[in-house]
């Protein structure tokens, strides 16, 4: 069994609860915790030449914002004890990216918060939590 667990966060209250729960489980099992913030991004978007010029700068700004506003405070709060807690910001489809990270890191479990999304976009696209539950290669714990 792997000694790594992954928690996907998005800056929401359910994401914070998922991170706190995952940190407790990781400590109890002597596992390391990787906190992953995924900025939704699709390689299939169509941009103008002007947008492409700004794309790299925008991505760097998004990463810096996610690190300073979400990950760094969370890492400060959850670090301590015998478990190592690390954070990373990535771009991509959240469920696919979390699943890929779990596979690449040999993680034993993924934790995510359930946001109360509703409306037509949830009906068409689903949620990250439900996509993970259906596609993940490791157990997924969904925190309300």
Please indicate whether residue 18 or residue 1 has the higher confidence score (pLDDT).
Answer: 18
DSSP 30: T
Angle of the 128-135 helix axis to the 94-105 helix axis, nearest 10: 40
Query: Quick check: pTM over 0.75?
Result: yes
**Encoding tokens for residue 67?**
């690190």
Span 100-121, mean pLDDT? 82
1 occurs within a structural domain: no
Number of domains in the chain: 1
CB burial of 73-107 (b: ≥16 within 10 Å; e: otherwise) equals ebbeebeeeebebebebbebbbbebbbebbeebeb
With vertex at residue 6, the alpha carbon angle to CA 100 and CA 2, rounded to the nearest 5 degrees, is 85
pLDDT score for 98: 96
pLDDT score for 45: 61
61 occurs within a structural domain: yes
pLDDT score for 86: 93
2 occurs within a structural domain: no
From 128, 124, 54, 61, select the one nearest 95 (Cα to Cα). Answer: 128
**pLDDT tens-digit profile of 22-70?**
999 999 999 999 999 998 876 666 666 676 677 777 888 888 989 899 9
95 occurs within a structural domain: yes
Q: With contact defined as beta carbons under 8 Å apart, do 78 and 23 qualify?
A: yes
Structural domain that includes position 130: 9-143
136 occurs within a structural domain: yes
Q: Quick check: 96 pLDDT over 70? A: yes
The chain-wide mean pLDDT, for the chain, equals 84
CATH code, domain carrying 100: 3.40.50.620
């Amino acid at each position: 069994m792997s000694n790594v667990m992954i928690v996907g966060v998005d800056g929401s209250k359910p994401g914070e609860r998922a991170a706190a729960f995952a940190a407790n489980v990781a400590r109890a099992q002597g596992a390391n915790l990787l906190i992953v913030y995924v900025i939704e991004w699709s390689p299939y978007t169509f941009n103008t030449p002007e947008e492409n010029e700004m794309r790299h700068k925008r991505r760097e700004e998004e990463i810096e914002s996610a690190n300073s506003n979400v990950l760094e405070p969370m890492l400060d709060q959850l670090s301590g004890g015998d478990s190592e807690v690390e954070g990373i910001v990535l771009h991509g489809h959240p469920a696919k990216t979390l699943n890929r990270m779990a596979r690449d890191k040999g993680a034993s479990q993924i934790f995510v918060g359930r946001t109360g999304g509703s409306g037509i976009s949830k009906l068409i696209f689903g949620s990250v939590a439900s996509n993970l539950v259906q596609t993940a290669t490791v157990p997924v714990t969904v925190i309300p």
